[in-house]
């Protein structure tokens, strides 16, 4: 199969982890007989420098003409003092909004070989396998544009949702829970916010269509606590944009590093953008130190969600797990005193493992 992929490396380590991910995807393409055509485009600070704005029309055009989008990360100190509409993050928020990517899926899995890398006790995080479904194109991040303002000493941000915006993300939460362990935790702040009260009402309504899914409501502050106290408790969490942003960073510590967390941002028709949860990490950018696994695993999510290439996605996930089990770590997950691999070496190790698994599969077939 031939697939067109828009590649937006962005800034900082985004560029480094993207290079490696394209190599891994090409290795998968070779093994399974696919062709991925990569079309590079600029976003974030890189686009501000070249095109004078964080999300050039050309980039949007390339994304719309592609079957899926891979994005690295945006931002850096050199663009920090620009006005709000010109910041690199605007490019990211703009592309999510323009492409209608309202459903952000952030899986959080505890890898056995990384139990020591987490600041949480190993017995708490063992077996954690949750999915955070974050609303991505509404809520506090976007508000009502005409109401967002700063007048002297007064600032206004609004939290705005329409019923249908809540309905479609809640549906995604239920659909995901149905396919997993049938447990959905809807996170809100219904003791304070009107929007959360409507959110709860909609979850209740929708739950009738999913009798097999056990639903509960949890206040966001309680959820933040529960995430460190008993993370294995959760299966699927569905929540508002800002709550999901905060809780997913918190949950990343279960894996030990933000460098391990992939994500998919989807539209209802399956079109999607895939990006690591981590940012551009300016402090380690350009040093060949970044952990490429979150980006590589985001590539695997693309294969699964946009291209229905399940076996191919599994092959990547399996190789990553085996590489970690064999004791190969980048510095973010290596722990004190361990010998950490560079970004490039980690990529090579994943590709080597893919080829090794392929050869083993070949031998097994020959003997079958």
Catalytic residue numbers read: 141, 189, 221, 245, 249
- Alpha-carbon distance of 55 to 47, in angstroms, equals 7
Question: For residue 7, which of 65, 48, 93 has the smallest C-alpha distance?
Answer: 65
- Alpha-carbon distance of 62 to 98, in angstroms, equals 13
Residue 138 interacts with which of Mn ion, ligand IPM, none, CB < 5 to 8 Å by class: none
214 lies in the site for ligand IPM, by CB under 6 A: no
- Helix or strand (DSSP H, E) at 220: helix 220-229
Spatial CB neighbours of 92, under 8 Å, sequence gap ≥ 6: 43, 44, 54, 71, 74
Q: Per-residue x/- marks for ligand IPM, 252-281, CB under 6 A? A: -------------------------x-x--
The piece of 88-96, 178-186, 310-318, 352-360 that touches ligand IPM (CB under 6 A) is 88-96
135 lies in the site for Mn ion, by CB under 5 A: no
Residue 140 or 232 with smaller CB distance to ligand IPM: 140
Tell me the three state secondary structure of residue 172: helix
DSSP 8-state code for residue 77: G
Q: How far is the CB of 273 from ligand IPM (least distance, A)?
A: 11
Q: Per-residue x/- marks for ligand IPM, 44-83, CB under 6 A? A: ----------------------------------------
DSSP-assigned letters across all residues of 305-327? HTT--HHHHHHHHHHHHHHHHTT
Spatial CB neighbours of 365, under 8 Å, sequence gap ≥ 6: none
With the C-alpha atoms ordered 150, 151, 152, 155, is the resulting torsion angle positive or negative? negative
- Alpha-carbon distance of 353 to 343, in angstroms, equals 16
Burial annotation 264-283 (CB, 10 A radius, 16+ → b, else e): bbbbeeebbbbbbbbbbbbe
89 lies in the site for ligand IPM, by CB under 6 A: yes
Residue 93 or 133 with smaller CB distance to ligand IPM: 93
Spatial CB neighbours of 312, under 8 Å, sequence gap ≥ 6: 28, 31, 32, 34, 300, 303
Residue 89 or 214 with smaller CB distance to ligand IPM: 89
Residue 66 or 241 with smaller CB distance to Mn ion: 241
The piece of 86-94, 149-157, 220-228, 283-291 that touches ligand IPM (CB under 6 A) is 86-94
Q: Given candidates 16, 171, 245, 332, which one binds ligand IPM under the rule CB under 6 A?
A: 245
Q: Given candidates 16, 171, 235, 245, which one binds Mn ion under the rule CB under 5 A?
A: 245
Residue 115 or 276 with smaller CB distance to ligand IPM: 276
Residue 110 interacts with which of ligand IPM, Mn ion, none, CB < 5 to 8 Å by class: none
92 lies in the site for ligand IPM, by CB under 6 A: yes
275 lies in the site for Mn ion, by CB under 5 A: no
Q: What residue ranges bind Mn ion (CB under 5 A)?
A: 245
Q: What residue ranges bind ligand IPM (CB under 6 A)?
A: 89, 92-93, 245, 277, 279
């Amino acid at each position: 199969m031939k697939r067109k992929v828009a590649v937006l490396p962005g800034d900082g380590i985004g560029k480094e982890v993207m290079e490696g991910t394209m190599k891994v995807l090409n290795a998968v393409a070779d093994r399974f007989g696919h062709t991925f055509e990569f079309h590079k485009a600029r976003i974030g600070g890189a686009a501000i420098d070249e095109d004078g704005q964080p999300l050039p029309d050309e980039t949007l055009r390339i994304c719309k003409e592609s079957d899926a989008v891979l994005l690295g990360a945006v931002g850096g100190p050199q663009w920090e003092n620009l006005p709000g509409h010109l910041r690199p993050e605007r490019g990211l928020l703009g592309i999510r909004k323009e492409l209608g990517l309202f459903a952000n899926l952030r899986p959080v899995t505890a890898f056995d070989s990384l139990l020591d890398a987490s600041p949480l006790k190993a017995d708490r995080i063992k077996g954690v396998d949750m999915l955070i479904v974050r609303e991505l194109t509404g809520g506090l991040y976007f508000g009502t544009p005409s109401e967002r303002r700063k007048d002297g000493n007064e600032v206004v941000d609004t939290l705005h949702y329409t019923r249908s915006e809540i309905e479609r993300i809640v549906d995604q939460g239920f659909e995901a829970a149905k396919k997993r362990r049938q447990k959905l935790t809807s996170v809100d702040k219904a003791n304070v916010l009107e929007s959360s009260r409507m959110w709860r009402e909609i979850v209740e309504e929708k739950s009738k269509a999913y009798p097999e899914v056990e639903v509960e409501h949890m206040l966001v502050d309680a959820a933040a606590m529960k995430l460190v106290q008993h993370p294995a408790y959760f299966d699927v969490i569905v929540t508002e944009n800002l709550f999901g942003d905060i809780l997913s960073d918190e949950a990343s510590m279960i894996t030990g590093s933000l460098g391990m967390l992939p994500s998919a941002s989807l539209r209802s028709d399956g079109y999607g953008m895939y990006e690591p949860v981590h940012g551009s990490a300016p402090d380690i950018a350009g040093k060949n130190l970044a952990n490429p696994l979150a980006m590589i695993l985001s590539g695997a999510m693309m294969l699964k969600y946009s291209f229905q290439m399940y076996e191919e996605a599994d092959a990547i996930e399996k190789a990553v797990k085996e590489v970690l089990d064999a004791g190969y770590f980048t510095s973010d997950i290596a722990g004190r005193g361990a010998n950490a691999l560079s970004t490039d070496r980690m990529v090579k190790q994943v590709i080597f493992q893919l080829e090794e698994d392929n050869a083993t599969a070949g031998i097994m077939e020959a003997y079958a």
